[in-house]
Amino acid sequence: MKTISENACFGGTQGVYTHTSQVCDCDMTFGLFLPEEAAEGPVPLLWYLSGLTCTHENAMTKAGAQSWAAAHGIALVFPDTSPRGEWVADDEAYDLGQGAGFYVNATEAPWAAHFQMWDYITEELTTALDHSFAVDMERQAITGHSMGGHGALTMAMSLPGRFRSVSAFAPISNPTASDWGRKQLSAYLGNNEETWAAHDATLLMREKGFDGPILIDTGTNDQFIDLLKPEALAEATAARRQQATLRMQPGYDHSYFFVSTFIEEHVAFHADALYA
């Protein structure tokens, strides 16, 4: 683990760290905010998974989450969205390759060599955080934006008992039926659509649901709303009678202005679950 930077932030520390990833076969970078309570012992952990084109830095600097996490004594981790490096496969399009890992374990060439983001988040980075920082892995929650909302929802529903709560900002909710999904899932996982179902929040809601509270916000003026398909997830949630709050926020778009407007409510939502 190499420290890139550490800055005082709302009484705690905002750090940026890099480490060698065995599963992604490259160096990976992440941001981690630790509140002042971490100096006394392990604190609850909230994961923030970012969207297409983002790095660890976007939410760390734009969402304004640290002040609210500090108020609740919660750590925040901001992973990168994909493996990176000159030797890592990429694509000219912004929605495939570096910056667009979609939080899956790729099985197809040329992606399989590095794009193992599911295992990186759920196993390798989890273990690294547990070993190196004062975080309480018995109290985890997860959130994300857009592609990261997709990752947060699929991980929460696929790993029962791991996360006490899950939320999302404008998540890609039904990728097997969207151009933000079919393109990437076929590239990373191949053309057998049965293998895609494990990475579709709507299909997972129909099959499994989540053993805790859910909060989802999407803006009515989101320029990508037809790709996000919030209505599909809403229908699956209602059919399952899942404990969830799904809100359409009037006038908001897909930007970090939207995320920063509602991040306080999301952090408080997770704090209620993490300290229950």
The predicted structure's pLDDT at residue 155: 98
The predicted structure's pLDDT at residue 33: 99
Alpha-carbon distance of 78 to 154, in angstroms, equals 17
Residues sharing a CB contact under 8 Å with residue 45, sequence separation 6 or more, in sequence order: 74, 75, 76, 77, 129, 135, 136, 137, 139, 140, 141
The predicted structure's pLDDT at residue 159: 98
The predicted structure's pLDDT at residue 270: 98
The predicted structure's pLDDT at residue 181: 97
User: Mind telling me the catalytic residues?
Assistant: 146, 222, 254
Helix runs in the chain, H state only: 57-62, 65-72, 117-119, 126-132, 147-158, 179-189, 201-207, 225-228, 230-240, 256-274
Alpha-carbon distance of 170 to 220, in angstroms, equals 10
Give the pTM. Answer: 0.98
Domains of the chain listed by start with CATH number: 2-275 (3.40.50.1820)
The predicted structure's pLDDT at residue 268: 98
Backbone torsion region of residue 143, taken as left when φ is above 0, otherwise alpha when ψ lies between -120 and 50, otherwise beta:
beta
- Strand order in 214-219's β-sheet? 2-9, 12-21, 26-34, 75-79, 43-49, 135-144, 166-169, 214-219, 245-249
Alpha-carbon distance of 107 to 21, in angstroms, equals 18
Alpha-carbon distance of 161 to 95, in angstroms, equals 31
Cβ distance 151 to 260 under 8 Å? no
pLDDT tens for the 276 residues of the chain, in order:
999 999 999 999 999 999 999 999 999 999 999 999 999 999 999 999 999 999 999 999 999 999 999 999 999 999 999 999 999 999 999 999 999 999 999 999 999 999 999 999 999 999 999 999 999 999 999 999 999 999 999 999 999 999 999 999 999 999 999 999 999 999 999 999 999 999 999 999 999 999 999 999 999 999 999 999 999 999 999 999 999 999 999 999 999 999 999 999 999 999 999 999
* Residues paired with 257 in a beta bridge: none
The predicted structure's pLDDT at residue 161: 97
